[in-house]
Structure 1
Amino acid sequence: MGRRTRTPNAALAALMREADWGNDQLARAVRRTGAEAGLRLTYDKTTVSHWLAGSRPRAEVAGVVREAFARRLGRPVAAEETGLGDHEATDPVSGLVALGRADMDPSRRSVLAAGLYSAALAVPGFGEAAERIDRAAAGRTVRIGDGEVATVRTMTDRLAGILDELGAAHARPMMASFLVNSVGPWLQAAGSDRSKGDMLAAAADLTYLAGWSAVYELAQGLGQSYYVQALRLADQAGDHVTYCRTLRGMSLQASSLGHGPRALEYADSAAQAAPAAGPRLTAFLRGQQAHGAAMVKDRRQAFARLAETEAALAKADGRNDAVGGYDLAAYQFHLAHVLYELGDLPGSIAALQTSNRVRPRAERQGRVHGLGLLARRQMEHGHVEAAAATWSSFLDDYAGISSVRGDEHFGALRSGLRPHLGNRTVAHLDQRAREVARLKAA
């Protein structure tokens, strides 16, 4: 038989012309972008020549190529534009189950955690679902109703509590398992349009929480993937609230990664998607808009949004729900970020102190993050004794929680103390930190 001939990749060639890239430049960009996802790629211009001639890399590399082009061009790049066969599931239920199943597998969890965050993601808009509720399941023997929806809502509340008290490393595997083994089948079961819509909305809430959990573990690409699935489920359910809360979560993620314009864009889109939001949700959204505005150095807008946040929070009732709740601690945390971005380090420290003081005791994971951030800013300001006291409180909670973000702060503690070991208080804290590290490693 003759050798199979490959079809030259005209799509990739066109994309390279748009990016003004030669083979070597594309190879370098792919190596650099892949490194963020934990991929050690050795591609060179010869590899790109093979792609142009019709060969294809493995799927995870094709995704890296897309992201490299997206960053170069400043716009989302669809899979078909590269001609490399990188396709994602568009059905939200299938996509969610596939993602959750991968997240359940301990052998794949480290790979998922290293997944690439896309700074130029094409976010599915609200109202894009071809049909709000899938009726294809009609006639199946499994049927859902109010009881199954209530189960998902209850589990979401319970898992949010575990996330707060014990950390994302414990909570997220349980979320993934429940999504795959219970929520996935229920999403494909028969039921009334109302029940199916309610189930989609409940699943969107839990998927959003899984994304939040992944981001807390610094698994940025995985968190973004969960967020996108949550947007798709919320869209199918016609659930404006969960859709805008998820966009707000994506804004927070972008801000934590230093993507200021993107953070503001997501925050503004979230606010626009919730025109009839109640006061607590309004505060939740306006606070993130303030942070995004501060990141792009729009001082006037940042403080105007903070004023709106404070006014809305003052009107909120006593209920602060598990998914997307907002309270005085969250407001002060946003204030701290705004002040820090605008160059007011002392003001930021004061706001963090207030946030930590009023945070509910049950929110241990949030407290670990808030104390770690406060101590680092106190060290940055040169207040070593104050930072040592904060680090001591941090260790009280960190010792009993499993959190990658907490681990990151702990690493900053260990390195930040070294120049000050001549200080007796610092030396004592360093010894305690060594003991905590030993117990964590045991």
Structure 2
Amino acid sequence: MKTPEPNAGLERLYRETGWTLRQFAQEVNRVGTERGTPLRYREPSVHQWLKGGMPKETVRPLILEALARKLRRPITRDDAGFPSPPDNSSAHPNTVEGLMDLGKQDMDPSRRSVIGAALFSVALTVPDWPDVVGRMEAVQKGRTRHVGTAEVDMVIAMTERISELDDQFGGRTARPMAAAFLVNTVAPYLKADAPEPVRKAMMSAASDLCYLTGYMAVDEGLHGLAQQYYVKALKLAGASEDHLTYCTTLRGMSVQAVDLGHGSSAMRLADAASAASPQAGPRMRAFLAGQQAHASAQLGERGKALSYLREAEVAMEKAESRAKSFGSYDPSSLLYHVSQVRYELGDIAGSISAMGQSDRLRHSVYRRARVRHRCTLAERQLELGHLEAACRTWGLALDDYPSVQSGRADERIRAMHMRIRPYLKNHAARDLYERARMTAPTATHRT
């Protein structure tokens, strides 16, 4: 039988606590007693753990809790060198602990490319709404800390503020802040004692934040990472019976898919979002139908695309006031969908007209979207041979670009640089090219 390797992660944490082997065992026993499962561990057991012997599955959370209390920070299975529990229909992984692991990896720049590499493998596991409601394990209690509505309100307010920063400056600026907030504040809140209504409200608030963090990962091109955040958002939304965030997240996953050219996945996710929201308000209905229209158009289903677009337009007319949340959908957003549908169906001139209208209606706070969509508009103008109009539109995008830290904006500016290069004999193209070299040297010269 192979001798196990020493558990370097657990050894590192043990050294940090300053405990003796006996103290470590006593603290684990104490947590077990609090949870109603008295234990009698002594020094030899701890010694075995440090040398690579794996504690029982039921004991591992108690070890993590004891370490977290001593070190005053969240400790995950990954930190302690413990494997994740099996993910099957009868044993759901600990969602809160998984959220901490994900956030910690996201905070580590050396890990981002690894966790962001996959495409759509996670999305295939998306559950239906009836399957996810109440199915997540009850959030484990064990800390003496108590949370109430004030903590829920704080998480909501922080999410709104991070969303505002994302809109103005891009996901690269705001996402590290969101990941740190998830790990250091929100996850411990989810494990704290709270009345049932407060516990559900906290899970709902955490779900919103997970969705936003996933959206910002998409902005940086980390699509596998984004999907992991999205699936966490779905589980938390289901556990808190939060239909709105559940549907918003599925819709976001559909947007991610259609932007990457995965029309079938985009359609399936958009249909799932629609099916899960039978009582959606008109603004949500408009967004869902607009997304279904875009996905249908990408699949070449002209009749369905135009039908969904009409449905979106009717729903938008019924929407009474502008939503304040980051998930809002306004006439500018609807016109963006109109533009995308027209383009997918071969009407380039119509797509240019709708995108121009969308740009004129877009609120100034959405700076990142303005850069991306103006670049898309310019590309389509160039496609029709309108070189100088395209240069003017790209010039407007460059006005905002220096203030935006966004992978998707970088991609569009790099595309501009490549597309304009064949036209440098034209003075407008040459002026734009030179300005781009001064304004965005990193983005335009990256290979």
Give the alignment's TM-score, normalised by structure 1.
0.78
Q: Which residue of 1 aligns with 2:189?
A: 186
Matched, 1:321 2:314: no
Which of 224, 231, 245 is matched with 2:248 structurally? Answer: 245
Deviation at 1:198, TM superposition (A): 0.5
Secondary structure of 2:129 counterpart? coil
Instruction: Calculate the aligned-residue CA RMSD, in Å.
Output: 2.4
Pairing 1:158-169 to 2, within 5 Å after superposition = 158-169=161-172
Q: Which residue of 2 aligns with 1:227?
A: 230
Matched, 1:170 2:173: yes
Deviation at 1:209, TM superposition (A): 0.5
Query: Taking structure 1 as reference, are residues 253 and 139 closer, same or farther at Cα in structure 2, changes over 3 Å only?
Result: closer
Query: Taking structure 1 as reference, are residues 390 and 228 closer, same or farther at Cα in structure 2, changes over 3 Å only?
Result: same
- Contact persistence 1:204–1:242 (CA under 8 A): yes
Q: Once the two structures are superposed, what CA deviation does each residue of 1:205-256 show, in whole Å capped at 9, x if it has no partner?
A: 1100011111111111111111111111111111111111100111111101
**One-letter amino acid matched to 2:201:** D
- Contact persistence 1:119–1:262 (CA under 8 A): no
Q: Which residue of 1 aligns with 2:80?
A: none
Q: Which residue of 2 aligns with 1:410?
A: 413
Q: Which residue of 1 aligns with 2:202?
A: 199
- Between the aligned partners of 2:315 and 2:345, the Cα distance in structure 1 is 23
Q: Which residue of 1 aligns with 2:273?
A: 270
Deviation at 1:116, TM superposition (A): 3.9
Q: Which residue of 1 aligns with 2:129?
A: 126
- Between the aligned partners of 1:93 and 1:375, the Cα distance in structure 2 is 44
**One-letter amino acid matched to 1:321:** K
Deviation at 1:119, TM superposition (A): 7.9
Matched, 1:293 2:282: no
Which of 89, 94, 101 is matched with 1:91 structurally? Answer: 94
Query: Taking structure 1 as reference, are residues 441 and 372 closer, same or farther at Cα in structure 2, changes over 3 Å only?
Result: closer
Q: Which residue of 1 aligns with 2:143?
A: 140
Matched, 1:104 2:107: yes
Deviation at 1:109, TM superposition (A): 2.5
- Between the aligned partners of 2:442 and 2:263, the Cα distance in structure 1 is 38
Query: Taking structure 1 as reference, are residues 129 and 351 closer, same or farther at Cα in structure 2, changes over 3 Å only?
Result: closer
- Between the aligned partners of 1:133 and 1:293, the Cα distance in structure 2 is 33
Q: Which residue of 1 aligns with 2:435?
A: 432
Query: Taking structure 1 as reference, are residues 342 and 440 closer, same or farther at Cα in structure 2, changes over 3 Å only?
Result: closer
Q: Which residue of 2 aligns with 1:156?
A: 159
**One-letter amino acid matched to 2:342:** L
Matched, 1:400 2:410: no
- Between the aligned partners of 1:242 and 1:145, the Cα distance in structure 2 is 21
Q: Once the two structures are superposed, what CA deviation does each residue of 1:249-281 show, in whole Å capped at 9, x if it has no partner?
A: 111111011111111111011011011111111
Matched, 1:423 2:426: yes
Deviation at 1:106, TM superposition (A): 2.2
Matched, 1:367 2:370: yes
**One-letter amino acid matched to 1:246:** T
Matched, 1:254 2:261: no
- Between the aligned partners of 2:372 and 2:155, the Cα distance in structure 1 is 28
Q: Once the two structures are superposed, what CA deviation does each residue of 1:331-377 show, in whole Å capped at 9, x if it has no partner?
A: 01101111111111111111111111110001001101111111111
Matched, 1:307 2:307: no
Q: Which residue of 1 aligns with 2:336?
A: 333
Query: Taking structure 1 as reference, are residues 237 and 420 closer, same or farther at Cα in structure 2, changes over 3 Å only?
Result: same
Q: Once the two structures are superposed, what CA deviation does each residue of 1:89-123 show, in whole Å capped at 9, x if it has no partner?
A: 72221221111111011222233333444286121
- Between the aligned partners of 1:227 and 1:307, the Cα distance in structure 2 is 29
Shifted more, 243-252 versus 120-129: the winner is: 120-129
Q: Once the two structures are superposed, what CA deviation does each residue of 1:413-434 show, in whole Å capped at 9, x if it has no partner?
A: 1111111000011111111011
- Between the aligned partners of 1:250 and 1:166, the Cα distance in structure 2 is 22
Q: Which residue of 2 aligns with 1:282?
A: 285
Q: Which runs of 5+ in 2 are unaligned?
A: 4-83
- Contact persistence 2:414–2:443 (CA under 8 A): no
Which of 207, 210, 214 is matched with 2:213 structurally? Answer: 210
- Contact persistence 1:104–1:176 (CA under 8 A): yes
**One-letter amino acid matched to 1:257:** L
Matched, 1:348 2:351: yes
- Between the aligned partners of 2:398 and 2:274, the Cα distance in structure 1 is 37
Query: Taking structure 1 as reference, are residues 136 and 327 closer, same or farther at Cα in structure 2, changes over 3 Å only?
Result: closer
Pairing 1:6-25 to 2, within 5 Å after superposition = none
Q: Once the two structures are superposed, what CA deviation does each residue of 1:13-57 show, in whole Å capped at 9, x if it has no partner?
A: xxxxxxxxxxxxxxxxxxxxxxxxxxxxxxxxxxxxxxxxxxxxx
Query: Taking structure 1 as reference, are residues 119 and 151 closer, same or farther at Cα in structure 2, changes over 3 Å only?
Result: closer
Q: Which runs of 5+ in 1 are unaligned?
A: 4-84
Deviation at 1:139, TM superposition (A): 6.1
Query: Taking structure 1 as reference, are residues 308 and 441 closer, same or farther at Cα in structure 2, changes over 3 Å only?
Result: closer
Q: Once the two structures are superposed, what CA deviation does each residue of 1:293-324 show, in whole Å capped at 9, x if it has no partner?
A: 11111111111111111111111122323231
- Between the aligned partners of 2:119 and 2:268, the Cα distance in structure 1 is 20
Query: Taking structure 1 as reference, are residues 273 and 129 closer, same or farther at Cα in structure 2, changes over 3 Å only?
Result: closer
Which of 370, 376, 380 is matched with 1:377 structurally? Answer: 380
- Contact persistence 2:117–2:224 (CA under 8 A): yes
Query: Taking structure 1 as reference, are residues 191 and 120 closer, same or farther at Cα in structure 2, changes over 3 Å only?
Result: closer
- Between the aligned partners of 2:220 and 2:209, the Cα distance in structure 1 is 17
Secondary structure of 1:277 counterpart? coil
- Contact persistence 2:402–2:439 (CA under 8 A): yes
Give the alignment's TM-score, normalised by structure 2.
0.77
Query: Taking structure 1 as reference, are residues 120 and 2 closer, same or farther at Cα in structure 2, changes over 3 Å only?
Result: closer
